[in-house]
Amino acid sequence: MSVHGEVLRAEALTKRFGGLVALSDYSLSLRSGEILGLIGPNGAGKTTAFNLLTGVLPPTRGRILLKGRDLTKAPPEEFAVAGIARTFQNIRLFRDLTVWENVAVGAHRREGPGWLATMLGLPGARRQEAAMRESAAELLRQVGLLELIDRRAGDLPYGLQRKVEIARALATRPTVLLLDEPAAGMNATETRSLTDMLREMAATRQGFSLVVVEHDMRLVMALSSRIQVINRGQLLADGRPEEVQHDPAVIEAYLGSRGRARKRRRPADASLA
């Protein structure tokens, strides 16, 4: 996987909810082609960071730039148009639509026909709809779901619904894709399949970067080229997986005082696996 210039920058992002500081002075420099794992104990501030980076929440302080463009005060839809897409921890598919129709929803903002052309059934609208189906089919081939293109999304197993959601996010043609707990609810086989798919996707899509929030440490360590650790709203560590895995401050954050005793009896990497 080749890594090139910076695509996403966060500068000293801070988010306060009344007297609670959920995130403090969080910074990020994400380069094209990188896969960044964002980890930390429950309540550490990971979701707040995700919501800031995708425009769901405005920061109390700090800046967010995509390829030098300041998106700090932009609404979420502007983040999406600029090239930042995301999935959510809880799957948000249109369950009664087919798989391809769900993916087409992601593409519609960029390449869909206008509502009037669609209502009138104009030839241009029909051509665009056919092109969108073709584009959706290619994305579904990439995630291994092409044979399910006309299946109702709500009828698919949980792990496959996750892949449909990822394909829908990819249909927006993002520069940066943020995945919130993509392996949640998956079994070991589904998780391995997801890891392989994401790794291949990052390797083959030009100018594309991934940020993954995930509790499954095996997935994070196997997938990420770099890992950030957040604890109590603060950036605790930032480095290669093997560095972060053996960082005493990270082990302490995950395991606490009892973990220090266990650490003396077994390697640090086992405690985070």
Q: Are 81 and 109 in contact (CB under 8 A)?
A: yes
List, in order of start, the domains of the chain with CATH numbers: 1-83+175-187+196-240 (3.40.50.300), 97-173 (no CATH)
> In terms of DSSP bridges, do strands 226-231 and 61-66 run parallel, antiparallel, or are they unpaired?
unpaired
Whole-number pLDDT of residue 125: 61
Q: Are 39 and 228 in contact (CB under 8 A)?
A: yes
Q: DSSP string of 196-228?
A: HHHHHHHHHSTT-EEEEE-S-HHHHHHH-SEEE
What's the half-sphere exposure (Cβ side, CA atoms, 13 Å) at 239?
9
Q: What is the pLDDT of residues 74-112, one digit of tens each?
A: 999 899 989 999 988 778 888 899 998 899 888 765 554
Whole-number pLDDT of residue 236: 94
Cα 245 to Cα 264: distance, rounded to the nearest angstrom: 15
Cα 235 to Cα 233: distance, rounded to the nearest angstrom: 7
Q: What is the pLDDT of residues 205-257, one digit of tens each?
A: 777 899 999 888 888 998 999 999 999 999 999 999 999 988 998 888 876 64
Token pair in block for residue 211: 């940020």
**E strand or H helix at 244, and its extent?**
helix 241-245
